[in-house]
């Protein structure tokens, strides 16, 4: 008996004595060492980069923050004072180091940059079975172009407009290596780069990337592509007032691209990939909650979309024969289900010339970006999904027009033709402009505002034109008049970042 009992104890010891118990791997994570070893895993890293750009946690960098802040900070759009308004401080130009706006956009940008740097650093086709050199080059090129795009977009909020001081102001660090060493806690603490450095590095990255990137029209508009990279270059050169280079880049950006037609445009093409999409960010259904999509900020329905209104001064720019005027709400009531009403309205296509209604506060709701998950006949059950056209062909056409107009008399014909290309799509009976000189440039810029409103271009346009912020009229609650170069245009480095990197105080 005693023997058996002792045996039992001994057996229990050996039965449970296994070190396997403390060697466990997670099931929802992949060890980093396995990630750059297979083609499928590298594909997933690349997709992860776009996922990060579109959405991470509560920050949707390219499906909400950049597109929305780009208009909140300008004057054609009025940011509503609904009490849950998240960027009211930024709208009022009261941004402080402790505000949430700079912190969110800074953090999300650098999380994205880290992925690009890791990809550039880690992808090595020679080590991966079946992974072609071309594909490796393409992925690295995408990472470089994304790195350039994010840095330049971020820098505009923290630095001074480039042309004001030839880029000598300090903006943000251009991080182009893996930002931490293999010893935890020992990190490279970067300093702020000047706008000049940032733009130079971005141009270098983009030029390095372009040869290896595919064209957009091969189904690549949801990923970084050659046309988009050229378009980003064009934007950079516009900021730098280097119009020749900008025009060349914009021209290259349009290679193989046709503008979308009137029907597509009118029927909600701007919430989808369309013919002229150069770079689009997707809002995936399982990643979003309502309030946090680009479309939900613009399209009024079911208590959402209270955030943005078009200023009456913008609406006044549209002529009655402009089909784009139809985007503005025909009813001042923008309550439940009106997004769907818009949608129906576009489909009806009633012809030109409508009575434009105002909200009770004077500004206008609009249906330029209808949610794409609305069910016809239902006023409920939509998450406000839609894709965001970060860059589209029309912008490039207008850049070419503007650059040509800035060439002086020699470029005016080209400028007018390009302008007409945009105007004739939506304006019945549009004809070649009769303006010239500054008037022509002004007309192109007005066309740009009308064409691109709500798409996140306002801030960039305002900075590069150097006209300052003019919220002197219309429907703005916070009336403001800031001359170009006012320190309020430069956001302070977020406090949380200063707390961890004293170099940024320099």
Partner 1 sequence: MKKSLVSTLILMFIGLQGLLAQSREVSGIVTSAEDGLSIPGVSVIVKGTTIGTSTDFDGKYSINVPEGESILVFSFVGMTAQELAVKGSTMNVVMQPASVDVDEVMVVAYGTAKKESFTGSASVVKKDDIVKVSGGIGKVIQGKVAGVTVMGGDIRIRGFGSFSASSSPLYVVDGVVGAPKPNDEDIENFTVLKDAASTALYGSRGANGVIIITSKKGKKDKKPTFEVKYQHSVEKMIEPEWELMNAGEYYQHQFKGMVNYVGESRAYTYFNYYMNNKNPYNMAEPFNLDGSLKEGAKLLYDTNWKDEALENASKDEIYVAASGGSENSNYHWSARMYKYDGFVRTSKSKGANTRFNYTIDLRDNLKVNVNSTISYYEGSGTYTTKANENNHLYLSYVLSPAAPMYQLNQIDNGDGTHSYEYVLDKQGNRVYDYSNPNYKNYNPIGLMEADFDDNYGFSAFFAPSITYEVIDGLTLKGQLSGRLNTRRGDSFQNPYYGSGSTENGLSTKETYHTMDWTMHTSANYKFEVGDDHSFDVIVGYEAADYDYQDFYATKNGYSLGDISTELSTGNSPRYAGSSTTEVGLISYLSNLNYDFRDKYYMSASFRRDGSSKFGEDNKWGNFWSVGFSWRISEENFLSADWITNLKLRTSYGVLGTNDIGNYKFGDYYSLGANYGGITGVSHTNLPNAQLGWEESDNFSVGVDFDLFDSKLSGTIEYFNKNTDGLLYNVPLPTTTGFPSVLMNIGEMQNSGFEMELSGKILSGEFNWNADLTMTYIKNEIKSLPVDQVIQGTKRWIAGDSRYEYYIREWAGVDPEDGRAQWYMDQENADGTVEKVKTKSYSKATRYNMGQSTPKFFFGLNNNLSYKGFDFSVQTVAAFGHKIYDGQYQTFMHDGSGKATNLAKDALNSWTPENTNTDIPKYRWANNTSSNSTSSRWLVDGDFVKIKNITLGYTVPERFLDKMFLNYARVFMTVDNVHSFSDYKSGDPEISLAGVSNGYSFNPATTYRMGINIKF
Residues 277-306 interacting with partner 1 (rule: CB under 8 A): 282, 284-287, 290, 302-304, 306
Which one of residues 64, 86, 115, 469 is an interface residue with partner 1 (CB under 8 A)?
115
Stretch that binds partner 1, among 67-75, 82-90, 139-147, 212-220 (CB under 8 A): 82-90
Least CB distance from residue 71 to partner 1, whole Å? 18
Least CB distance from residue 20 to partner 1, whole Å? 8
Which one of residues 71, 74, 75, 118 is an interface residue with partner 1 (CB under 8 A)?
118
* Neighbour tally for 186: CB within 10 Å: 9
Stretch that binds partner 1, among 49-57, 233-241, 313-321, 349-357 (CB under 8 A): 49-57
Which one of residues 130, 184, 351, 487 is an interface residue with partner 1 (CB under 8 A)?
184
Q: Is 377 in the site for partner 1 (CB under 8 A)?
A: no
Q: Return phi, psi of residue 424, to 5°.
A: -70, -15
* Beta carbon nearer to partner 1, 74 or 504: 504
Q: Is 110 in the site for partner 1 (CB under 8 A)?
A: yes
Surface-to-core class of residue 7, CB atoms within 10 Å of its CB (0-12 exposed, 13-18 middle, 19+ buried): exposed
Q: Is 251 in the site for partner 1 (CB under 8 A)?
A: no
Which one of residues 39, 48, 197, 354 is an interface residue with partner 1 (CB under 8 A)?
48
Q: Among candidates 190, 45, 228, which has minimal Cα distance to 110? A: 190
Q: Please give the helix or strand (H or E) that residue 392 lies within, else none.
A: strand 388-392
CB 305 within 8 A of CB 296: yes
Least CB distance from residue 474 to partner 1, whole Å? 13
Which residues in 125-154 contact partner 1 (CB under 8 A)?
none
Which residues in 204-243 contact partner 1 (CB under 8 A)?
222
Surface-to-core class of residue 445, CB atoms within 10 Å of its CB (0-12 exposed, 13-18 middle, 19+ buried): middle
CB 298 within 8 A of CB 309: no
Least CB distance from residue 96 to partner 1, whole Å? 4
Which residues in 473-502 contact partner 1 (CB under 8 A)?
477-478, 492, 495-497, 499-501
Radius of gyration of the chain (CA): 26
Least CB distance from residue 73 to partner 1, whole Å? 14
* Beta carbon nearer to partner 1, 110 or 243: 110
- How many residues in the chain? 506
Which one of residues 215, 218, 347, 361 is an interface residue with partner 1 (CB under 8 A)?
361
Stretch that binds partner 1, among 181-189, 344-352, 403-411, 419-427 (CB under 8 A): 181-189
Q: Is 23 in the site for partner 1 (CB under 8 A)?
A: yes
SS3 184: coil
Q: Is 85 in the site for partner 1 (CB under 8 A)?
A: yes
CB 424 within 8 A of CB 430: yes
Least CB distance from residue 373 to partner 1, whole Å? 9
Q: Is 185 in the site for partner 1 (CB under 8 A)?
A: yes
Instruction: Quote the tokens at residue 118.
Output: 């890791």
Q: Return phi, psi of residue 339, to 5°.
A: -60, -40
Least CB distance from residue 9 to partner 1, whole Å? 5
Instruction: Quote the tokens at residue 236.
Output: 């950079």
* Beta carbon nearer to partner 1, 192 or 226: 192
Q: Is 330 in the site for partner 1 (CB under 8 A)?
A: no
Place of tokens 């983009």: 206
Residue 255 DSSP label:
T
Least CB distance from residue 447 to partner 1, whole Å? 32
Which residues in 424-463 contact partner 1 (CB under 8 A)?
none
Number of residues that bind partner 1 (CB under 8 A): 103
Which one of residues 7, 166, 189, 437 is an interface residue with partner 1 (CB under 8 A)?
189
CB-based contacts of 131-134 (< 8 A; 24+ apart in sequence): 131/39, 131/42, 134/212
Distance CA 476, CA 362 (A): 10
Task: Quickly list DSSP for 402-453.
Answer: HHHHHT-HHHHHHHHHHHHHHHHHHBTT-------THHHHHHHHHHHHHHHT
Q: Is 52 in the site for partner 1 (CB under 8 A)?
A: yes
Least CB distance from residue 112 to partner 1, whole Å? 8
Distance CA 391, CA 407 (A): 24
SS3 180: strand
Which one of residues 65, 70, 117, 425 is an interface residue with partner 1 (CB under 8 A)?
117
Which one of residues 66, 106, 125, 243 is an interface residue with partner 1 (CB under 8 A)?
106
Beta strands 308-310 and 469-471 are unpaired
Least CB distance from residue 178 to partner 1, whole Å? 8
CB 357 within 8 A of CB 338: no
Q: Among candidates 248, 286, 294, 238, which has minimal Cα distance to 463? A: 238
């Amino acid at each position: 008996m005693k023997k058996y009992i002792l045996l039992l104890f001994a057996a229990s010891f050996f039965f449970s004595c296994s070190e396997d118990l403390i060697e466990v791997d997670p099931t929802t994570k992949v060890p980093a060492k396995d990630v750059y070893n297979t083609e499928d895993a590298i594909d997933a890293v690349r997709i992860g980069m776009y996922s990060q750009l579109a959405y991470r946690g509560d920050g949707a960098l390219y499906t909400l923050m950049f597109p929305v802040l780009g208009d909140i900070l300008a004057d054609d759009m009025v940011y509503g004072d609904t009490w849950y308004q998240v960027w009211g401080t930024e709208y009022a130009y009261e941004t402080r180091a402790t505000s949430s706006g700079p912190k969110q956009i800074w953090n999300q940008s650098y999380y994205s940059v880290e992925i690009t740097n890791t990809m550039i650093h880690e992808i090595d086709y020679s080590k991966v079975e079946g992974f072609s050199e071309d594909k490796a080059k393409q992925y690295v090129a995408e990472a470089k172009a994304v790195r350039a795009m994010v840095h330049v977009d971020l820098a505009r909020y923290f630095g001074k407009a480039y042309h004001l001081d030839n880029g000598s102001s300090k903006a943000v660090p251009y991080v182009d290596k893996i930002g931490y060493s293999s010893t935890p806690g020992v990190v490279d603490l970067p300093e702020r780069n000047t706008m000049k450095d940032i733009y130079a590095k971005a141009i270098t990255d983009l030029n390095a990337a372009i040869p290896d990137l595919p064209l957009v029209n091969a189904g690549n508009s949801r990923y970084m592509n050659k046309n988009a990279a050229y378009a980003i270059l064009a934007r950079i050169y516009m900021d730098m007032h280097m119009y020749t280079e900008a025009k060349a880049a914009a021209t290259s950006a349009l290679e193989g691209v046709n503008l979308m037609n009137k029907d597509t445009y009118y029927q909600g093409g701007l919430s989808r990939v369309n013919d002229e999409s150069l770079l689009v960010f997707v809002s995936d259904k399982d990643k979003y909650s309502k309030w946090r999509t680009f479309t939900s900020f613009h399209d009024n329905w079911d208590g959402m979309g209270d955030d943005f209104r078009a200023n009456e001064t913008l609406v006044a720019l549209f002529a009655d024969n402009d089909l784009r005027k139809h985007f503005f709400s025909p009813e001042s009531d923008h309550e439940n289900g009106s997004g769907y009403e818009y949608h129906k309205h576009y489909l009806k296509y009633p012809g030109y010339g409508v009575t434009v209604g105002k909200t009770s506060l004077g500004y206008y709701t609009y249906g330029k970006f209808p949610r794409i998950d609305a069910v016809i006949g239902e006023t409920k059950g939509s998450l406000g999904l839609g894709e965001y056209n970060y860059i589209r062909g029309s912008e490039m056409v207008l850049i070419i027009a503007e650059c040509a107009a800035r060439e002086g008399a020699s470029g005016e014909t080209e400028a007018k033709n390009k302008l007409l290309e945009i105007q004739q799509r939506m304006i019945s009976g549009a004809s070649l402009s009769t303006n010239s000189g500054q008037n022509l440039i002004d007309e192109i810029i007005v066309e740009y505002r009308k064409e691109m409103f709500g798409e996140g271009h306002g801030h960039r346009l305002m900075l590069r034109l150097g006209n300052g912020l003019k919220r002197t009229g219309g429907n703005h609650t916070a009336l403001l008049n800031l001359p170009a170069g006012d320190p309020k245009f430069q956001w302070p480095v977020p406090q949380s970042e200063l707390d961890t990197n004293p170099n940024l105080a320099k």
